[in-house]
């Protein structure tokens, strides 16, 4: 007979209380996913550079049309508060001090991955889709490709587009602004 291991799932309130009491410190790289406190991978050089490049590019091209949310938490449900690498949010005067962004505030969510591809694909993209986030991108630093997920459903996104070197693409919320693969990966990636 195989013993079942019971898992204790946490709510957002319990998770925040763990932070407030110091059980989870401000330097711990964790996020709450489906009620579980998940340790996030360390950020490598290529990952950091890609996030910084996207942040700068979107600041220049989209300006005040969005609020760029870099590696900050978003509220998806009472049991999930992930920290995507980037999110484009609807601007708010209070910069979301009164409440974390919810799926209705998120125009695009982005995960940048090298060692976490499987996790980002199987867990995070499914989570974003179930929450109803309209568009999510996954940057695969190993393959130097971008996958754009749209048409969210309860078990995953219904449409997936893949962009590689030479491709031009746009964010659904801003079809008038196009980007090239080199814009987001940089010329040194070629």
pLDDT along the chain (190 residues), means of 10: 78 93 90 94 91 94 95 96 97 96 98 92 95 97 94 93 93 92 72
- 161 vs 152: CA distance, rounded Å: 13
Half-sphere exposure of 109 (CA within 13 A, CB side): 30
**Phi/psi zone of residue 11: left (φ > 0), alpha (ψ -120 to 50 degrees), beta?**
beta
Question: Domain with 79 in it: what CATH number?
Answer: 3.90.1570.10
In this structure, the number of other CB atoms found within 10 A of the CB of residue 145 comes to 16
Model pLDDT, residue 190: 47
- For 50-78, how does the pLDDT look when each residue is reduced to its tens digit (9 = 90+)? 999 999 999 999 999 999 999 999 999 99
Number of folded domains that form the chain = 1
Examine residue 32 and state whether it is found in any structural domain, yes or no.
no
- For residue 58, what are the domain limits? 42-189
Examine residue 140 and state whether it is found in any structural domain, yes or no.
yes
Examine residue 25 and state whether it is found in any structural domain, yes or no.
no
Examine residue 172 and state whether it is found in any structural domain, yes or no.
yes
Model pLDDT, residue 1: 64
Examine residue 65 and state whether it is found in any structural domain, yes or no.
yes
Model pLDDT, residue 6: 75
Examine residue 8 and state whether it is found in any structural domain, yes or no.
no
């Amino acid at each position: 007979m195989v013993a079942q291991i019971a898992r204790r799932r946490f709510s957002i309130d319990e998770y925040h209380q763990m932070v407030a009491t110091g059980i989870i410190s401000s330097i711990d790289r964790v996020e709450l996913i489906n009620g579980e406190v998940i340790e996030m991978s360390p950020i490598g050089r290529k990952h950091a550079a890609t996030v910084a490049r996207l942040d700068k590019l979107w600041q220049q091209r989209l300006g005040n049309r969005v609020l760029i949310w870099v590696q900050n938490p978003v509220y998806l449900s009472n049991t999930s508060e992930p920290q995507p690498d980037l999110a484009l949010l609807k601007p708010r005067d209070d910069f979301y001090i009164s409440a974390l962004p919810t799926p209705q505030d998120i125009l695009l969510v982005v995960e940048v991955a090298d060692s976490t591809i499987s996790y980002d694909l199987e867990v995070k993209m499914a989570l974003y889709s179930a929450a109803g986030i309209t568009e999510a991108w996954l940057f695969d630093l190993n393959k130097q490709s971008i996958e754009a997920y749209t048409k969210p459903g309860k078990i995953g996104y219904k449409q997936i587009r893949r962009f590689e070197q030479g491709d031009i693409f746009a964010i659904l919320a801003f079809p008038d602004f196009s980007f090239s693969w080199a814009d987001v990966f940089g010329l040194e990636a070629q």
